Structure formats: C-alpha cells, structure tokens
Structure 1
Amino acid sequence: MNVLGLGDNVVDKYVYKSMMYPGGNAVNFSVYAKQLGAQAAYLGIFGTDEEGRHVHRVLNELGVDTSRCRSAEGENGCSLIELIDGDRVMVGWNKGGVQQEHPLVFDASDYSYMKQFQWIHTSIYSGIESQLPELRTLGVPLSFDCSDEWDDNYLKRVCPQVDLCLLSCGAMEEDAVREKLAFVASAYGCTGVLGTMGSRGALLYYNGAFYLQKPHFVQPVDTLGAGDSFFTAFVLALLTEGEWNKAPEASVRKALDAGAAFAAKTCLVEGAFGYGKPY
C-alpha cells in the first residue's frame, strides 16, 4: 500500500516546557501510515530554520519519502501550545510560515508522481484548494481535513472535489453532527464524511448509512494527533478490504474500530508521534 500526505507540516511548540514536536495533518497521516506498515510519502514545503530541518530529519529517519518536497528561506510552520488548567491549548501559530509566501504549486511532474499512490490526504492548512480540481482528475482517492475552521461556504467549495471529508465536531451535539454529515454527503457528493467528536468518539456517514465509533479509553499522555491517527488507521483498514468506496458494513465497522485502537496508542505518546526536541 502506497499513500501520500500532501501539504502542511508544523512543529508544535509546547511553550510551558520548551519542547517542539513535528506534526501537521499531512505529515501525521504519512507518519502514522508508515507506522501501520504502509509505504508512505510526504510532499510539502519546509522552512530553512531549525524547526523545518527537525521535521525533515525525523521524516527521513522514519523512512517517509520526502523526495518531492520543497524548501524556502524563512520560518517553518509552527503552532504554540500552552498548558491551561491541565489541558493543552493552542494559543497561536504562524499560519504555516514559508507556506504563506511560497504556497505549493504543482506541475505536470508532480501530478505524474501523485498518480502512483492509492490514497492522498491533505487539509485546510495546506493552501491547495485551487488545485483540488486537478488532483481530482488523477483518479486517486482524496481525503481532506477541514479541522474545526469550516463553514458552509468553505464546504461547498471543497467537498465536491474530494472523496472523504473530515470535520472536527467536538462542540456540536450528536444530532447536529448527523444532520451536517448527511447534508455534506448528499449536497456535495462525498462518499464519506467523518465527524470527530473528541471523547465521544467519531461519527461516519458512508454510502448513505451512519456509523458511530466509541473511543478505546486509555489514560492519555497527550491527545495531540488522536484524530489524525484514528483517520489514518481507518482509511488503511478500508483499503485493505478492497474497493474502499464499496466496503460492506462489517468492513466499515472493523476499520473504524482499528482507527479507535490506533488512536488510543497515539494518546500514550508526547506530541503527535514523539521526537521532541528542546528549543
């Protein structure tokens, strides 16, 4: 199995202890896929600072293919996290650093490279919305993480171009999540829409049916990356079943449980997947 994380990378700086950890939706997908036994690549842009070099070094150490990545002079993507009343809270970020001034623009050789993969995953933080129609023509299943920054206008723009959409829905009641997922799928044509709800688990709308997955509870060390790890394991499990978009109910439920199990393991690691470095 060969998958690609496309777009954002950051270092998550834990300000209260002066440690930084590699991460970002696209990077996390690639790393988690590698941990689960897939061949994984990442295509994004690194800053030339120590933060960017650290993310790049770690990906190379883990065996994630970064051969198509770019670099640009300046700050790597960075988020700032504080400990507030026992909870880790994001208190700021630099909007992707060099990715702002040097957004990813793909050429014919990039698109040819992407065709080799069985799945591509990207996010709202990757800045490639305008290139989604071209990505759609590649014939490779495409997932998109909208995080919790989506609104209906944004979903209307993005979702018709992707196969599987992720929405962070932790602040919504379950009935409202169900209504939103069904609407997105029916109005915009996604095969699947996955709403993550924090400690309440995740709700999937897939081929006209709802699936609720409760979390596998552990005493967490750090919940950063739990949603990304859940999604990655879920997707890989679906892919192993054959045609991901036509999986029977039993396979979908099995894949969701695999996601919950892997997310629980991720919660036992500092940062999204470890590799902290003092700064």
Structure 2
Amino acid sequence: MLKVLGIGDNVCDIYLHSGEMYPGGQALNFAVYAKNLGVSSAYMGVFGQDEIAWHIIHTLDALKVEHVRCRQYEGENGYAVVNLVDGDRVFMGSNRGGITKEKPIVLEEADKEYIQTFDLVHTSNNSYFDDQLKSLHALEIPISYDFSNKWEDWERTARICPYITFGFLSCGSMSQEETQQICKKVHQLGCKIVIATMGSKGAWLYNGELMLFQPPKTVEAIDTLGAGDSFATGFLVCLSKAQKENPDKLDTDSSYREQIFKQALEEGAVLAAKNCLVRGAFGYAAKIPESVLQKLI
C-alpha cells in the first residue's frame, strides 16, 4: 500500500469575519487530503502548546492521520489570518509559523529510519525545512516541494531544486507563455517534474520532454483555501501509485508516462475543484480562542 508523509508546516487559518479557525498548512493539508483519498499517510511537524495546537492535534486524531514523530514545545502554534472575497481566499497576515520558526524540524536518526518506511515526502516553502533537504534526499525517497509563489527567489530555488523530484509553483499572475518558461527554468535547475498551477487558468507540467496543459475544473467556489494543496495531493497520489505498481514501465515507456501524467493532472484538478466547495482547507472549524482574537483585534 502506498505510504506518504507530509513534513513541515501546520497552522490554523483564522477567519475573523466568521469568528472561526480551521486546521491547515501545506504539509499538513497534504497528509489529510492523502488520507481522504484512502492512502496511508502521516504528518511530521512542530506544535505549540496553545489552543490552536490542540485543535490541530485533536483533528488529526479524529481523521486518524498518524503524527508520532511530531515535536511539541511551549509557545505559540502557527496561524494565518484569512479573508474571503467572492469565495477566493486572501491571506491577511500570520505569525510566520510560530514555534516552528523558532524550533524547526531537524532530522534525527530515528526520524530517518521512520521516513524510509514511506514512498513519498511532501514539504513546503513555509516549513523551515530547506536545510534538511540534503539529508532527506540522501534517503533516496522522492521529495515533493511546494514553492507557492516563492519560486521568484531564484537563488533559493536554485539551492532547493537539485534535491527534489516534484516542484509545485503558484503562477496565477503569469501568462501561459511566461509560466511555460518558468517551468523550463526550474527544471534546468534540477527539479525533475515541475507543476505550475494558475488557479482558474489551469496548470502546466514539464519534465524535460513533455509540456502538458491541464484545464481547470470550474465550480462556484465557496472557499479556495487549500485548492493548490489538494491539486498537488491528487496529482502526487495518482503518480505515486503508478510508480509503485509499474516502476519500470513508467521509467521506460514514454507513451505510458504521458498517459499517467495526464491522468494525474486530471485527478489533481478534480480534487482541487471539490475542495473549493469546503470551508477552510478541509473543514473542522473551531471558535477562535479569545486570547488570539484579542491580539488580532
């Protein structure tokens, strides 16, 4: 059975207009979405010791997402403040990861042994994990990395790309032609498979031989939070299943590889559209703690 692991950021997304907060974070969302797809998934990250942290932990327990290698320290958990404008999420600010920024994951030998039981690891630009990518890469497990829109820091992107198999980019403000050129540049820097999402304008994949376009699945969005993460999860789960079932064929048969890439892009787009009909990244609302509310107001 396919096993995947999200390493890095966890937050609660705080909706001041409704007085609610929802669990989220790129790495945590990946683990939850994969679990919802029927995949064995786990999450590794850093929690604070406040009401936000406990809500996320209790949610992972309710969803049966394993988190045995997480750390928890005294301090503030990560959170982000979100507003909705016609169903589109707009980030208003954050505490920059809270305790995760102060005490990020540093891989120990026990962590590495644990990670080697998985088929894929997904992390992100918000995870304070970049300096661990070399050690992770040495374990010879495919690494997926979500740059969001931070790929524009080309010096940082150049440092990351040699260690990752999959790179996800947010290119919503770019034209189709600009996005294709960006995909090619990221591939040239060492990332094997580049996927650029453009919101309602679709997505592109480039692997050095194929440049494939995925049209969007249009819905009347309630909340677009988590759309990119769900696209990435749908894509990665589909492709990783094919890799596990037919590794030689995927590597050697170009027509089969193109077929699987197209199928994975389609499944990513379908999952992203479905996710736009859910409040928060994946639901599980809770009331914003009074201590956090007072600070933000």
TM-score, reference length from structure 1: 0.96
What count of residue pairs does the alignment treat as equivalent? 278
Alignment correspondent of 1:158: 160
- Separation (CA, whole Å) in 1 of partners of 2:87 and 2:112: 44
Write out per-residue CA displacement over residues 56-112 of structure 1, whole angstroms, 9 at most, x where no aligned residue: 110111011011111011111000012457643111000000012111111111011
Choose 75-84 or 35-44, whichever is displaced more.
75-84
Alignment correspondent of 1:202: 203
Structure 1: any 5+ residue segments left out of the alignment?
none
- Residues 190/83 of structure 1: CA separation in 2 closer, same or farther (3 Å cut): closer
- Separation (CA, whole Å) in 2 of partners of 1:266 and 1:86: 12
1:264 equivalenced with 2:293 (yes/no): no
1:241 is paired with a residue whose SS is helix
| Within-5 A mapping of 1:191-270 | 191-242=192-243, 243=247, 246=251, 248-270=257-279
Query: Which one of 171, 174, 182 corresponds to residue 173 of structure 2?
Result: 171
Alignment correspondent of 2:50: 49
Whether the 8 Å contact between 1:191 and 1:245 is mirrored in structure 2 is: no
1:177 is paired with a residue whose SS is helix
1:224 is paired with a residue whose SS is coil
Alignment correspondent of 1:73: 74
2:81 is paired with a residue whose SS is strand
Q: After the TM superposition, which parts of structure 1 deviate over 4 Å for at least 4 consecutive aligned residues?
A: 84-87
Alignment correspondent of 2:111: 110
- Separation (CA, whole Å) in 2 of partners of 1:30 and 1:65: 9
Write out per-residue CA displacement over residues 5-42 of structure 1, whole angstroms, 9 at most, x where no aligned residue: 00100000011111000000000000000000100000
1:44 is paired with a residue whose SS is strand
Question: What letter matches 1:25 in structure 2?
Answer: Q
- Separation (CA, whole Å) in 1 of partners of 2:86 and 2:225: 16
Percent of paired sites with the same residue: 44
- Separation (CA, whole Å) in 2 of partners of 1:80 and 1:252: 35
- Separation (CA, whole Å) in 2 of partners of 1:4 and 1:219: 31
Structure 2: any 5+ residue segments left out of the alignment?
289-297
The CA RMSD over aligned residues, in Å, is 1.4
TM-score, reference length from structure 2: 0.91
1:235 is paired with a residue whose SS is helix
Deviation (angstroms), 1:131: 1.1
- Residues 214/86 of structure 1: CA separation in 2 closer, same or farther (3 Å cut): closer
Question: What letter matches 2:113 in structure 1?
Answer: S
Alignment correspondent of 1:273: 282
- Separation (CA, whole Å) in 2 of partners of 1:123 and 1:105: 15
2:157 is paired with a residue whose SS is helix
1:52 is paired with a residue whose SS is helix
